[in-house]
Structure 1
Amino acid sequence: MPQHRNISCHLYIGDTKAMEYNVHNVDNRSTAHIVSEEGQTFSFKIEAGTALMSAARLDLELWADGYKLDCFTFTESVYEVDDAQVRDQVTGAIKIVKLRFAKLNTVDQGPSNADDAEAEQLKRLGTLEIKLWRSESNVSQSTTFPYADCPLQTPIHEKKIKGQSVSHVTSLESKGTVAQQSSWGYITTKIDPYDRPWVAFVFKHASKALLQSEGIVPKDEVKEKGAAVASAKGKKAQSSRAKVNDTKNEESKVEDVKFDDDVAAMSQPQLRQEIMRLRKRPGDSLDQSVVKARRTMKCVRTPDADNLLSTAEKGDKRK
């Protein structure tokens, strides 16, 4: 869970706390990556901890995809943000919107150039940000409280975000309008400069596949285990085949040894008969029988072995 400067900020997807990856705390910023899926609603839970010991209240701003959506001030040690109030740019109505992940909508037609302001905003696609300032306890009411405009969620030309790793953005789902609009707000006195919040929590989100391809999210353990099991089975099968082959080789050696022992006990007439039998054995070729008999007789070291073989071959030809 991202925790920095005695404050923690959790992002919840539905009722489940999101898993954070690659968490880094540098200076006053805490950055983490999370997996987003289309259609999921999300919210934030801030736990002030001991931060309120040095300040009576905290001011908060909610940002998504480079747009400021809403701002709050609170004195509670635990504070939740699950919606925002924004002004509809078409009707002027103040809408209550829920936060939801949506797929990035791109097009390949139309203007592909972005001015500096738009280019800066596009760099923050796929990011959520909670900024927090320490403030004094005293507040004053204002009658000129401005609501942030609801971003126009139009398709983005793909060339404008070329090279960026973005799969999802934040969609604002309207849950109704504020019946009695009020321009009343609170003016607080911040202890920290506005351009340098006490702490900022940044959540970079994308699909699991995209984060895995960048090495941020580890590959699925189930798939890795399955691959390991398959590898182990393959090695076991190879080992089994090797054992079978070794067994066959051993059996062949045993047969040769038995054959050699039998030949050693034969007389010359018996050797002639054995040679002729081998040559006539069904399924054996002439060359195979001769080579085997010749090798066997050399092991016996019979003085006439080669002559016997030659005589047998000549006799066979005569037939």
Structure 2
Amino acid sequence: MSSFVVALDVGGTSMKGGLVTRSGEIVLTGRRGTPREQGPAAVIEAIRSFVENLAAAGGDAPAGVGLAVPGLVTADTALYSANIGWHDVPAGDLVPLNVPVMLGHDVRAGGLAESVLGAGREISDFLFLSIGTGIAGAVILRGEPYGGSAGWGGEIGHIPVFPDGEPCACGQIGCLETYASASAVARRYSARAGSPTTAERVAALTTSGDPVAAAVWHDATEALSLALATYTLLLDPSAIVLGGGLAEAGRLLSDPLADRLQRRLTFRKAPPLHPAALGVNASMLGAALLGWHAAGSPEVGATWSLDVLKSPRVA
């Protein structure tokens, strides 16, 4: 059997991929844009090309391929994704190689990686909250991601937090994602300031005392506290693990969020907030675990070193 798998995390903006060995060494990483504006067929072809190029760089056929993709997904079919626009795409159509393949939901793959390898390694029940271009959660119960009856479990980004608020792309009003995702933070600041910017820049401006940035950041943490209070009261998690690009802001996000969450949970203690240990590599490493599952080696990953997994980082 080959010594590596191809792991690919397909996001709405970019794809992060790598070759991951049995010992957890990430021997190669790369990033490419996701050409979703060109339609689902172009995205499928881009995935096929990326997988083929990664495998070729390894010098041998991989033991398996793991793909973390958005939307409704089973182990062998990408059923639906609003962001990409595809319907009922078999796993085999995404991989131009005659090797075992396993698909998984992108955020649940990140939650799986954090559960097996990262911040949730010693926690059996937690929420992995990915705050990136959008917002989604992975519900981890007894160490395993829970997708719900039809695979839609964890869509916390579409909890309406401000019922009289701004419209969301999903068709609802006032969704969490409309206020607290990285794209929303950038959009809402840009609309008020009159110039385009990024969520990272808004975070920096918040630190320096910019009042517009501070107001946008306040709305984001307020929205998050509302959604997480609801989640906590329903499922009583041991912890909440914060991942995704916006979580890279660290204590600028987690400190006010922890304070507001506790103030909403008036009669009980709020669950602790932990930073994701695997950073933006989480879903890609979850895809690697899926790849080793596909290859018939589900035990791979149990002894992987966190220090090894965090380097190299997919830029």
TM-score normalised to the size of structure 2?
Answer: 0.23
* Structure of higher CA gyration radius: 1
Which structure features the higher share of helix residues?
Answer: 2
Which structure features the higher share of strand residues?
Answer: 1
TM-score normalised to the size of structure 1?
Answer: 0.23
